[in-house]
């Protein structure tokens, strides 16, 4: 008797499917890492904008030496309630998008300067009624996503010190539909003493 031996060559379908499954799991892992990287990039962008905004606000306080921490506290508390209108006194030159003209600054006292600085820190130019995105002015505040609840800048006066907390909604606290999971988001805090 002569038996012929058959040797198997190539891969069976089961081996191909197992290899495809392993490859797919690896690709899903890479996609998850990319998503996490994008969320971290967005969060770091929000953090850098908030630090930039806080540093700008502190520099504005330094150039207004006659003001007190209470002036800025009162101004920030008032502005957290009404961001739909420009401040009564604009203490810096600005571009008015509704008239397409440059408007010169008004002369301001220390309290008016504190109110103007608070509006620029707390409010967004995009929130005013006559906002036009084509020729609008943007500041750092326009690029920070505010938290789900509360105001962007929370002041606290402690003697001669003003403690500022800037809150924003970070991407890791959002669902797939951009709904806030948590209302607090992230915070940057600075303490200014006079």
Among 13-27, 36-50, 85-99, 102-116, which range has the highest average pLDDT? 13-27
Which backbone phi and psi does 15 adopt, to 5 degrees? Answer: -65, -40
Q: pLDDT for 140-194, tens place per residue?
A: 555 565 555 556 666 677 767 777 777 766 666 555 555 544 444 666 666 666 6
Question: What does pTM read for this prediction?
Answer: 0.64
Residue of 133, 161, 140, 164 lying closest to 151 (CA atoms):
164
Please identify which residue in the block is written with the tokens 């008032």. Answer: 78
Instruction: Round the CA-based radius of gyration of the chain to a whole number and report it.
Output: 27
Q: Kindly state the helix (H) or strand (E) to which residue 101 belongs, with its residue range.
A: strand 101-103
Strand partners, 61: none
Q: From CA 119, how far away is CA 109, in angstroms rounded?
A: 15
Q: From CA 9, how far away is CA 161, in angstroms rounded?
A: 80
**CA distance to 44, 135, 153, 185, per residue, from 132 (Å):** 28, 6, 25, 29
152 DSSP assignment: S
**Pairing mode, if any, of strands 161-168 and 186-193?**
antiparallel
Burial letters for 112-127: b for 16+ Cβ neighbours within 10 Å, e otherwise? bbbbbbbbbbbbbbee
Q: pLDDT for 62-110, tens place per residue?
A: 888 888 777 877 777 776 656 776 778 888 887 766 677 888 888 989 8
């Amino acid at each position: 008797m002569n038996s012929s031996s058959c040797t198997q060559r190539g891969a069976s379908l089961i081996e191909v499917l197992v290899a495809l499954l392993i490859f797919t799991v690896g690709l899903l892992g890479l996609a998850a890492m990319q998503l996490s990287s994008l969320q971290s990039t967005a969060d770091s962008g929000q953090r850098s904008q908030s630090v930039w905004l806080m540093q700008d606000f502190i520099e504005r306080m330094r150039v207004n030496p006659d003001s007190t921490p209470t002036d800025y506290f009162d101004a920030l508390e008032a502005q957290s309630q009404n961001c739909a209108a420009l401040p009564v006194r604009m203490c810096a030159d600005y571009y008015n998008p509704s008239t397409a003209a440059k408007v010169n600054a008004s002369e301001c006292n220390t309290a008016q300067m504190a109110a103007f600085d608070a509006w620029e820190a707390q409010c967004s130019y995009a929130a005013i009624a006559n906002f036009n995105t084509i020729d609008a002015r943007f500041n750092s505040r326009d690029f920070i996503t505010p938290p789900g609840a509360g105001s962007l800048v929370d002041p606290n006066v402690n003697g001669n010190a003003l403690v500022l907390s800037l809150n924003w909604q970070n991407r890791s606290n959002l669902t797939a539909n951009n709904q806030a999971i948590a209302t607090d988001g992230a915070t940057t805090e600075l303490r200014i003493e006079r």
